[in-house]
Structure 1
Amino acid sequence: MAVQAALRRRYRATVPTRLRLLRAATVLLTGALAVLLLVAGLTTLGTWGGVADRDAPRTTSAADLDLALNDMDAQAANILLANGDAGQGRLKTPYEKAVGFYGDARRRIGHDLRTLAVAAQGSRADEKTVETLTDDFAEYQELIGRALANDDHHGGRPAALTDYRRATGLLRTRLLPAARTLVSSNDAAFDAAYSSARHTLATRLDAVLALGALLLAVLGVLQWYLARRFRRILNPGVLAATFCTLFAVVLGAQLLSTSAEQLRVARRDAFDSVVALSRARAVAYDANADESRYLLDPQRRGQYADAFLAKSQQLYGLKGATLATYDARLAATWQTYEGDHQDLRFTGEFRRELDNITFPGERAAAEKTVETYAVYQRDDRKIRALLAAGKEREAVEFCMGWQPGTSNTHFGAWMAALDRVEGINRAHFTSSVEDGRSALGDLLPWAAGLLCVAMVLTALGLRPRLAEFR
């Protein structure tokens, strides 16, 4: 009898202790899992804020600065070309449009420099680049202003050309390289932040799954212990807590995996194309400016013809092509590509975009961009042919006119096509950011709430059993 009494006392002392230990382990693991999900959610929310409000805007601002600098210089050349002799023989519509576009580009540059100055804070190299750019841009504006003022006087064209050459030299040697350095550095910073965020999400997903599996195992042990000690098949409270935990783990894993996938779509599928197309647009404006410079400055026509070809190669690269052979080779390689999208006979920014086709309608829009580019390229040959034939006035009018069928009209059609394909990628970038944020708002409260409910249900399920030992 004494032995039986001792065993009963030991049993009564051991069972509630074990139940309390299992309850404590369940509560601690549930709380740890809830904290992990909340921290992961808040960190991911910060990631989306960084992507949408810092990383992408500062990269696109740098790309827009590159574009605006090229546009401003092109419009300065167009103003000089259309001005005639101190306003005599001026091409009225091209002149007025060039003046308007020149002002727009100058204002965009000022805005982009301010945006980049804010974005550069914390990076001494970028801060120094923006400071130098601002100073150089002030010098550039002074040179262009002198060129335009000189051209408004009879006999002032030689002095205007001298100032314009100096301004263009400053643009090519200092302004554009600095702007492109900012594009590369900001894009690289975005890419590093993206890689770090993806790694963090993957690590936390693993942690959620491991912690969730451990918590479910503890709940399983608790259920088994209750069934064995109290001769009951299942404890309703613990069973409900187990299901709540399982759903919370599934929702947490879905939250993290969805965030990782939407982040990949935003960066790799959408923004990589936005960067490639932004670079293509800046190169396009620079090439268009080379046409105006070619007409404006007879002494440097060879230099500007070579520059135009180099930029064409950046956009649609054809190894060994010259201006005389470029059109035929473009047509031949494009026809081959249309039959086989894996054909690699051309390179460049267009190729980069065509190799990253992801979204509905993107391929058709990208292919339309190349087709309108081919039309613009043929216009360039016509301009050079007219000039070679001694028809300089006709060449200038065809280059700068805005009537249907002129080079400017075809350039506008090319840029509109580029806008469409870039717009598709920008829209999907925005929607991916919104979907990522939405996943947090939809899933995180449910996951955290289910874990809180699981803690309560575990406590309620054990309460009657512990009461038996009071």
Structure 2
Amino acid sequence: MVLILVSAALLTVTTVGMMRTRDQVDVVGAYAAPQAATASDLYLALSDLDAQVARLIMIGDSESLSDSRLDALLTYRQRSNQVDADLSQALNTATTASTRTQLRTLTSQLALYRQLAWEALAVQEGAADQVPGRPPADTLGYYSRATTLLHADLLPSAKSLRSASETTLNDAYSGQRSTARWSLALAVLFGVLGVILLLGLQVRLARRFRRLINPALLAATLATIGLVVAAGVVFTGETNRLDAAQRDSFAPYLSLTAAQAVSYDAAGDTSRYLISGNPEYVQQDLAAKSKCLVNGGTCGSGGDDLSAGLGAFGRAPGSTGPGVLDRWNAYQRDHDQIVALSGDGQLATAVNRLTGISRGDANFDFFYYDTAVSQITASRKAGFDATVADARHALAGWTVIPAVLMGVAMLLVLLGVRPRLAEYR
């Protein structure tokens, strides 16, 4: 009877542990991680959205820069659709009333931002004798309100959502580790007790019936040991897989996405510098953003916090060219030259250096940098998805395997004991 109870406990512990582990892997891979990725993507898209508005205002209606204006307009629409999709996804997966309220507030603020941005562009479109880099005062007034709204309200809200989703993800990882730890400990405990009882039964039968080895009981003992060892391998392997997925893939993905958002905002500062009535402030803010992109830390006034600088991410997969840090530094040099040209009164040349598509122009060098960053982020995300898929695959069948093994073990015990009892009669 005690052996049956211990076997039932071992069966329960392994089955429930495997089911909970499977559910927690699904939470990580299908809910918590996608939620964190959506929030991070929202922050990135909002950063570039405002950068494109600044670019459109800087270009104005210049015919010579019509290609750049079209590119900025298309990018703005792409980011706008991206923001809408992220907000919709976040609302669909929100689990608390406070999160839903925060998302609805952000949606309302976004509508106001869009209104102010398009009013700025509409005023500019109706102005005569426009000069790139010198928009009308009313345009600057509307845009100043729009970019202040974005940096003071929209981005902090998006950052808060991202932090909350990362906390949810970390809680999911902690829950899986806790489940694996306790399930493994209890499986070993009941497994050892089961093996001791089986060995004791073997010894007892050997003494009473003078049979040195009972093959059926030996097989039952091996089945019990096999279940504990196999379950331990699965519990430990799942924890190691998810830890590796977080450490090597998803955490770097989130960090690099955050850095990419900061770099979009910093690139927007180059356009803002040329059109701003307070360029010194813009320059200081960009310098702070660039410093944290290089070294990590806090990026500008009220900016994001980066755990590591761009140098930690190396090169894009398969690339033998400069790493992402070197590519960013190239853009930073372009910005410094644009500032110098503007300071010397060469505004038209500064605008051309910013919008040009040749190597050494800011637009080209930023694209060169951003391509490498996007390739690395895609690689990290793909690595995470593959590891989570492996974790799910490793759990296949483990809701029934414990029942099969313990059922076989108990059947073997009956087969091993019954002939001896018959012999006793």
Alignment match, 2:78: 104
1:141 to 111, 114, 121: 114
Judged with a 3 Å threshold, the aligned counterparts in structure 2 of structure 1 residues 308 and 388 are, in CA distance, closer, same or farther, namely same
- 1:303 maps to a residue whose letter is Y
Judged with a 3 Å threshold, the aligned counterparts in structure 2 of structure 1 residues 410 and 210 are, in CA distance, closer, same or farther, namely same
Query: 166-175 or 24-33: which moved more?
Result: 24-33
Structure 1 residue 206 corresponds to structure 2 residue 189: no
1:362 is displaced (CA, Å) by: 7.4
1:259 is displaced (CA, Å) by: 0.7
Distance 2:18 2:203 in 1: 33
- 2:51 maps to a residue whose letter is A
- 1:415 maps to a residue whose letter is D
Work out whether residues 248 and 448 of structure 1, in 8 Å CA contact, stay in contact via their aligned partners in 2.
no
Distance 1:366 1:238 in 2: 65
1:279 is displaced (CA, Å) by: 0.7
Distance 1:186 1:291 in 2: 31
1:243 is displaced (CA, Å) by: 1.0
Alignment match, 2:245: 266
Judged with a 3 Å threshold, the aligned counterparts in structure 2 of structure 1 residues 422 and 105 are, in CA distance, closer, same or farther, namely same
1:109 is displaced (CA, Å) by: 0.7
Alignment match, 1:410: 365
Give the share of equivalent positions with the same residue, in percent: 32
- For residue 91 of structure 1, give the secondary structure of its aligned residue in structure 2: helix
1:197 is displaced (CA, Å) by: 1.8
Query: 421-430 or 243-252: which moved more?
Result: 421-430
1:386 is displaced (CA, Å) by: 1.6
Structure 1 residue 432 corresponds to structure 2 residue 387: yes
- For residue 316 of structure 1, give the secondary structure of its aligned residue in structure 2: helix
Work out whether residues 29 and 215 of structure 1, in 8 Å CA contact, stay in contact via their aligned partners in 2.
yes
Deviation digits for residues 181-211 of structure 1, max 9, x if unmatched? 1111110121122112212211111111111
Alignment match, 1:129: 102
- 2:208 maps to a residue whose letter is R
1:391 to 338, 343, 346: 346
- 2:189 maps to a residue whose letter is A
Structure 1 residue 217 corresponds to structure 2 residue 216: no
Aligned length: 413
1:41 is displaced (CA, Å) by: 1.2
1:31 is displaced (CA, Å) by: 2.5
Distance 2:380 2:74 in 1: 29
Deviation digits for residues 226-259 of structure 1, max 9, x if unmatched? 1011000011110111111111111011010001
Alignment match, 1:40: 17
Alignment match, 1:340: none
Structure 1 residue 56 corresponds to structure 2 residue 29: no
Distance 2:30 2:310 in 1: 26
- 2:375 maps to a residue whose letter is R
Deviation digits for residues 357-382 of structure 1, max 9, x if unmatched? 9xx98798998111211111111111
Structure 1 residue 466 corresponds to structure 2 residue 421: yes
1:428 is displaced (CA, Å) by: 2.1
1:195 to 174, 182, 191: 174
- 1:239 maps to a residue whose letter is L
Alignment match, 2:295: 317
User: Structure 1: which 5+ residue stretches go unaligned?
Assistant: 1-23, 320-346
Distance 1:39 1:365 in 2: 49
- 1:120 maps to a residue whose letter is A
Work out whether residues 76 and 144 of structure 1, in 8 Å CA contact, stay in contact via their aligned partners in 2.
yes
Distance 1:265 1:107 in 2: 33
Alignment match, 1:94: 68
Judged with a 3 Å threshold, the aligned counterparts in structure 2 of structure 1 residues 239 and 361 are, in CA distance, closer, same or farther, namely farther
Query: 365-374 or 73-82: which moved more?
Result: 365-374
Distance 2:310 2:282 in 1: 26
Work out whether residues 331 and 362 of structure 2, in 8 Å CA contact, stay in contact via their aligned partners in 1.
yes
Alignment match, 2:132: none
Distance 1:27 1:434 in 2: 36
- For residue 441 of structure 1, give the secondary structure of its aligned residue in structure 2: coil
Work out whether residues 25 and 176 of structure 2, in 8 Å CA contact, stay in contact via their aligned partners in 1.
no
- 1:314 maps to a residue whose letter is C
Judged with a 3 Å threshold, the aligned counterparts in structure 2 of structure 1 residues 63 and 353 are, in CA distance, closer, same or farther, namely farther
Judged with a 3 Å threshold, the aligned counterparts in structure 2 of structure 1 residues 220 and 189 are, in CA distance, closer, same or farther, namely same
Alignment match, 1:300: 278
1:119 is displaced (CA, Å) by: 2.5
- 1:152 maps to a residue whose letter is E
Distance 1:88 1:276 in 2: 38
- For residue 419 of structure 1, give the secondary structure of its aligned residue in structure 2: helix
Alignment match, 1:378: 333
1:134 is displaced (CA, Å) by: 0.7
- 2:376 maps to a residue whose letter is V
- 1:153 maps to a residue whose letter is G
- For residue 234 of structure 1, give the secondary structure of its aligned residue in structure 2: coil
- For residue 264 of structure 1, give the secondary structure of its aligned residue in structure 2: helix
The structure having more radius of gyration, on CA atoms, is 1
Alignment match, 1:252: 231
Root-mean-square deviation (Å): 2.5
- For residue 58 of structure 2, give the secondary structure of its aligned residue in structure 1: helix
Structure 1 residue 227 corresponds to structure 2 residue 196: no
Work out whether residues 293 and 310 of structure 2, in 8 Å CA contact, stay in contact via their aligned partners in 1.
no
Query: 215-224 or 193-202: which moved more?
Result: 193-202
User: Structure 2: which 5+ residue stretches go unaligned?
Assistant: 129-134, 298-304
Structure 1 residue 176 corresponds to structure 2 residue 149: no
- For residue 396 of structure 2, give the secondary structure of its aligned residue in structure 1: helix
1:401 is displaced (CA, Å) by: 2.1
1:444 is displaced (CA, Å) by: 5.8
Judged with a 3 Å threshold, the aligned counterparts in structure 2 of structure 1 residues 318 and 190 are, in CA distance, closer, same or farther, namely closer
1:314 is displaced (CA, Å) by: 2.2
1:77 is displaced (CA, Å) by: 1.2
Alignment match, 1:341: none
1:136 is displaced (CA, Å) by: 0.4
Work out whether residues 49 and 80 of structure 2, in 8 Å CA contact, stay in contact via their aligned partners in 1.
yes
Alignment match, 2:300: none
Distance 1:378 1:349 in 2: 24
Judged with a 3 Å threshold, the aligned counterparts in structure 2 of structure 1 residues 365 and 37 are, in CA distance, closer, same or farther, namely farther
